[in-house]
Amino acid sequence: MKKFFCFICLAYLSFPMKAQEALSLDSCRALAISNNKELLISQEKINAAHYQRKAAFTNYLPNISASGGYMRSQKELSILSDAQKGALSGLGTSLSRPLQQAAQVIAQLHPELAGQLPALGQSLAGALDGAGQSLVDAFRTDTRNMYAGALTLTQPLYMGGKIRAYNRITKYAEELARQQHNAGMQEVILSTDQAYWQVVSLAHKKKLAEGYLKLLQKLDGDVGKMIAEGVATKADGLSIKVKVNEAEMTLTKVTDGLSLARMLLCQLCGLDLSTPVMLTDEQKED
What was the pLDDT predicted at 72? Answer: 80
pLDDT 10s digits, 154-207: 888 877 788 889 999 999 999 999 999 999 999 999 999 999 999 999 999 999
| Digit-coded pLDDT (tens) for 232-242 | 888 888 998 99
DSSP H helices in 66-147: 82-89, 91-94, 96-109, 117-138
For residue 7, what pLDDT is reported? 40
User: Within the chain, which residue ranges are assigned CATH 1.20.1600.10?
Assistant: 17-60+159-283
Q: What percent of the chain has pLDDT over 90?
A: 33
**Is 226 in contact with 232 (CB distance < 8 Å)?**
yes
- Which CATH code is given to the segment(s) 17-60+159-283? 1.20.1600.10
Nearest by Cα to 267 from 44, 39, 17, 37: 37
Confidence bin at 8 (pLDDT 50/70/90): very low
Helix (H, G, I), strand (E, B) or coil at 157: coil
Distance, CA of 138 to CA of 89 (rounded, Å)? 12
H helical segments located in the chain: 2-14, 25-35, 37-57, 82-89, 91-94, 96-109, 117-138, 162-229, 234-269
- Residue-wise pLDDT tens digits, 9-63: 444 334 344 445 677 888 888 999 998 899 999 999 999 999 999 999 888 888 8
The contacts of residue 124 (CB under 8 Å, 6+ apart) are 92, 99
Q: Measured between alpha carbons, how far apart are the two ends of the chain, in Å?
A: 52
> Among residues 24, 21, 19, which one has the least CA distance to residue 196?
24
Report d(CA 17, CA 275) in Å as an integer: 10
